[in-house]
Structure 1
Amino acid sequence: MPVVNLTLIDLPGLTKVAVEGQSDSIVADIENMVRAYIEKPNCIILAVSPANQDLATSDAIKISREVDPKGERTFGVLTKIDLMDKGTDAVDMLEGRAYKLQFPWIGVVNRSQADINKNVDMIAARRREKEYFSSTPEYRHLASKMGSEHLGKVMSKHLEAVIKSRIPGLQSLINKTIIDLESELSRLGKPIATDAGGKLYMVMEVCRTFDGIFKEHLDGVRPGGDKIYNVFDNQLPAALKRLQFDKQLSMDNVRKLITEADGYQPHLIAPEQGYRRLIESSLISIKGPAEAAVDAVHAILKDLVHKSISETAELKQYPSLRVEVNGAAVESLERMRDESKKATLQLVEMECSYLTVDFFRKLPQDIEKGGNPTHSIFDRYNDSYLRRIGSNVLSYVNMVCASLRNSIPKSVVYCQVREAKRSLLDHFFTDLGKKEGRQLGTLLDEDPAIMQRRLSLAKRLELYRAAQSEIDSVAWSK
């Protein structure tokens, strides 16, 4: 019958006193050394006791009982059975009547010193051992359960039973370790490709991952994109409300601009040039909130780029690539900001350059309803008349503000947010296609410690997978 591999550790016998030449601590040193081995839960204890001595005084049994009180891994072994005094035997001990253990006692007959001196080999010694137990009347009924060979089989069977009972736990531990190793390998990223095409593909894949995370922020999958809406819904309207048109349209300022627009000849019917100057001077102040909205969205997009870079695990692997991607993304956002600012300010300038005629066509009708449709040329600059002009201009400016409050966000989204989603790294990709393998390699400058760590993890993972396969095959075979 084949047996599994066992590691046998022959520990020294416990001593009571230190003899000449030994240190005073020899007793404690030996006991501590023995305990260091037999306290391990995976250790099978062979408590060896000579048959020609009283088991009650056996140090091996005493210390075994201390570390293994339930006797789940302790096996009693009786030696020197053949050296017992005539008229005595070890049957009571072997059958557990003298001292019972959880597992049956096993008797062995080893080679004597004379046998060792005569170079009697182990095969012959095992044969003589079998003959002793089978031919001795007292032990004949126990012969099949005695001897070193039987001891080896018992140990092997016990070890197999222990291993089998612990297979589920081992499987769980190995599976968890494999998951942990795979997870860490995933965090470390793939190993760097060696050829230029492979390196370019790796860089592109990392950039696409970053770009996808950035879009998720804008689309609401990840937090941050809602801040852009806050600019349009709160910041821009609040900034427009803070514009002090009433100061711009104060009585003194209206009189000043109207008279300056009339020049040397006062207006005859309506101060059209005065209206235009008042409206333009008021509307031009909207450029400030419009530019602020563009800059605020730019700052948010820039912040989302930084967040996306920090959330892209692959970019942590390559510091140079992280710097390049960050620089390329911010540069693109700055180009988009400049285009957005140009387009948004053009919206304000459009309102300044062409007035909505229908609004002013209604003004004479409104005046007639007031019962004072005409004014003398000489009283065109009185307070009531100028107050009416200021009120008309303020109404028109408020109308334009309401319109721009809707059109400015559209311009900003079209020029910045939409373009950032569509072409954030387009210029970077164009430049990548022009780089050679060596230049691409500088972007993939992974830390050597990470490379070594990945190699070590891969080897460990291979070993654990092999162990998993072996243990699974044993589990299924049983």
Structure 2
Amino acid sequence: MIGGPHLSALYSVVWFMILEGKSYRLKFPWVGVVNRSQANINKNFDMIAARRREREYFSTTPEYRHLAHRMGYEHLAKMLLKHLETVIKSRIPGIQSLINKTIAELETELSRLGKPIAADAGLCTIMEICCLFYQNFREHLDGVRTGGDKVYNVFDNQLPAALKSSLLKLMEADGYQPHLIAPEQGYCHLIESTLVTIRGPAEAAVDATHSILKDLVHKAMSETPELKQYPALRVEVGNAAIESLERMRDQSKKATLQLVDMECCYLTVEFFRKLPQDVDKGGSATQSIFDRYNDSYLRRIGSTVLSYVNMVCATLRHSIPKSIVYCQVREAKRSLLDFFYTELGKLEQKRLSALLNEDPTIMERRSALAKRLEL
């Protein structure tokens, strides 16, 4: 803004630009104003009178008479207001879009944090949250969510490989000395000592399934926002679920090992009856025991034992998974939190309320988001 005393300087600049052949298109038209002198400011000169004198100056000065209608502070104020209005209008869609986006983000986060718990909340609220967790856990087992299919890997790969390893150990064994034990007792001894080794793979399959179920519990807990909201309840539900799985594991291990022990304590006689009956190659009593039990006879014993163990392994390969599914997977789907529900019913209201003590960080965050939404 250049007043009357500085017009000569303005003219000098303009004429210099003309002589240099330079011209610049102004983004906004220029407006001349008359500044108040320091003396007028010190005397608190009336602004209305100052504006009136400004209008008189531009209307009476020959250089500005033809521009008087767009000179002065009043015209400058109108121009600035109009420009400001244009800028605001041009940015309203973007501002509105940003506001809507921010509102949507705040509402999404509020929804994720969950609603604040009611003052009189108790057993029903806890049961509802537990049901949400339980539903997520069951969806993992049913295949709706990922992770449950790992149980099949135990049955299809881990258990068969372990059983095969037991058979390899049998084939590499030194065998028994037939001159020190009766053949029938030798068969029983070899078969029983071999079948006992299947206890290891059976226990390993139970433990592997237990580990998978524990992982699914942790996944289901992390996928239940309501449990994140209440740390005390999250700990109690997690501990109760793991304890329940451990009881199921112990029961499953007991039932599975019983399957193996049954095969050890009672051999299938029909299997031996169907074997081809060879003529006794033992020879007379005067023959040496080394001549009486030759290599062919010993190989026949080894082949018979191996065939019987193969038959038992084929049976256990199907019965062990059935036992595990029945005792662990099925029970986990049916009664994972049953014991916890029973214990909840015994708790007093004060203890139930303590389980629903919300995380202070979540409470503060929810309050801050609510205030921003109000704004």
Displacement of 1:180: 3.7
Counterpart residue number, 2:153: 230
Counterpart residue number, 1:258: 182
Distance in 2, matches of 1:141 and 1:406, equals 106
Distance in 2, matches of 1:396 and 1:237, equals 17
TM-score by length of 2: 0.77
1:321 pairs with 2:245 = no
Same amino acid, percent of matched pairs: 64
Distance in 2, matches of 1:119 and 1:54, equals 24
Q: How does 1:264-343 map to 2 (within 5 A)?
A: 271=184, 276=188, 278-343=190-255
Taking structure 1 as reference, are residues 430 and 57 closer, same or farther at Cα in structure 2, changes over 3 Å only? farther
**SS at structure 1 position matched to 2:2:** strand
Counterpart residue number, 1:245: 170
Displacement of 1:295: 1.2
Work out which structure has the larger RCO, using CA pairs closer than 8 Å and 6 or more positions apart in sequence.
Answer: 2
Distance in 2, matches of 1:387 and 1:135, equals 130
Taking structure 1 as reference, are residues 404 and 224 closer, same or farther at Cα in structure 2, changes over 3 Å only? same
Displacement of 1:278: 4.8
Q: How does 1:177-256 map to 2 (within 5 A)?
A: 177-197=102-122, 200-201=124-125, 203-220=126-143, 222-243=145-166, 244-246=169-171, 250-252=175-177, 256=180
Taking structure 1 as reference, are residues 50 and 434 closer, same or farther at Cα in structure 2, changes over 3 Å only? farther
Displacement of 1:57: 6.4
- What per-residue deviation string (whole Å, max 9, x for no partner) do you get for residues 184-226 of structure 1? 43444432332224x742x344434433443444445555434
Contiguous gaps of at least 5 residues in structure 1: 1-47, 62-97, 260-270, 464-478
Q: Paired residue for 2:28, among 103, 127, 132?
A: 103
Displacement of 1:257: 5.3
What is the letter of the counterpart of residue 364 of structure 2? Q
**SS at structure 2 position matched to 1:328:** helix
Counterpart residue number, 1:155: 80
**SS at structure 1 position matched to 2:6:** coil
- What per-residue deviation string (whole Å, max 9, x for no partner) do you get for residues 421-464 of structure 1? 3332232233334434432332233332332222112211222x
Instruction: Kindly indicate whether the alpha-carbon contact (under 8 Å) linking 1:213 and 1:308 is maintained by their aligned counterparts in 2.
Output: yes
Q: Paired residue for 2:316, among 404, 409, 419?
A: 404
Counterpart residue number, 2:99: 174
Contiguous gaps of at least 5 residues in structure 2: 14-22
Counterpart residue number, 2:257: 345
Taking structure 1 as reference, are residues 454 and 131 closer, same or farther at Cα in structure 2, changes over 3 Å only? same
Counterpart residue number, 1:415: 327
Displacement of 1:292: 1.6
What is the letter of the counterpart of residue 56 of structure 2? Y
Taking structure 1 as reference, are residues 222 and 104 closer, same or farther at Cα in structure 2, changes over 3 Å only? same
Distance in 2, matches of 1:255 and 1:433, equals 68
**SS at structure 1 position matched to 2:182:** helix
Distance in 1, matches of 2:181 and 2:172, equals 13
Counterpart residue number, 2:293: 383
**SS at structure 2 position matched to 1:406:** helix
Distance in 1, matches of 2:241 and 2:284, equals 62
Counterpart residue number, 1:449: 361
TM-score by length of 1: 0.62
Taking structure 1 as reference, are residues 115 and 54 closer, same or farther at Cα in structure 2, changes over 3 Å only? closer
Distance in 2, matches of 1:158 and 1:238, equals 81
Displacement of 1:161: 0.7
Displacement of 1:334: 0.5
Instruction: Kindly indicate whether the alpha-carbon contact (under 8 Å) linking 1:196 and 1:436 is maintained by their aligned counterparts in 2.
Output: no
Instruction: Kindly indicate whether the alpha-carbon contact (under 8 Å) linking 2:199 and 2:260 is maintained by their aligned counterparts in 1.
Output: yes
Displacement of 1:102: 3.0
Distance in 1, matches of 2:32 and 2:173, equals 115
Instruction: Kindly indicate whether the alpha-carbon contact (under 8 Å) linking 2:256 and 2:320 is maintained by their aligned counterparts in 1.
Output: yes
Displacement of 1:347: 1.9
Deviates more, 1:235-244 or 1:426-435: 426-435
Instruction: Kindly indicate whether the alpha-carbon contact (under 8 Å) linking 2:34 and 2:72 is maintained by their aligned counterparts in 1.
Output: yes
**Over the residues paired in the alignment, what is the CA RMSD in angstroms?**
3.9
What is the letter of the counterpart of residue 7 of structure 2? D
